[in-house]
Amino acid sequence: MSLVVQPDAETEITNAALWYHEQSSAIRDSFLTAVDQALQAIEQRPLLYQRIYKQVRRLVLREFPYALFYTVSSQDVVVIACLHCSRDPKLWRKRVP
């Protein structure tokens, strides 16, 4: 399986990293490391994390109030969103095929 990060999710990761960079470059680096670790975990064991809506699964980042939302098919794992946990779920639900 290949890991695909949709453009909307990439933009959300970038925007969160920019916000954290305004606080501290070290915090930004920690956030990006947490995202990288989460993406690796999803790629290695995509079915490990709970299905929360239709075929969408969620992995909450360690130490940051963000979650990655993704789907799994026979060919690939698609990350559809990276959102703050307090955000409205409708923001990522409209991206579900």
Specify whether the CB–CB gap between 16 and 82 falls below 8 A: yes
pLDDT digits (tens, 9 = 90+) for 18-63: 999 999 999 999 999 999 999 999 999 999 999 999 999 999 998 9
For 70, the token pair is: 């993704």
Q: What is the mean pLDDT of the chain?
A: 93
pLDDT at 13: 98
pTM of the full predicted structure? 0.92
Structural domains for the chain: 2-93 (3.30.2310.20)
- Per-residue pLDDT at 1: 79
State percent of the chain over pLDDT 90: 82
Burial of 90 (0-12, 13-18, 19+ CB in 10 A): exposed
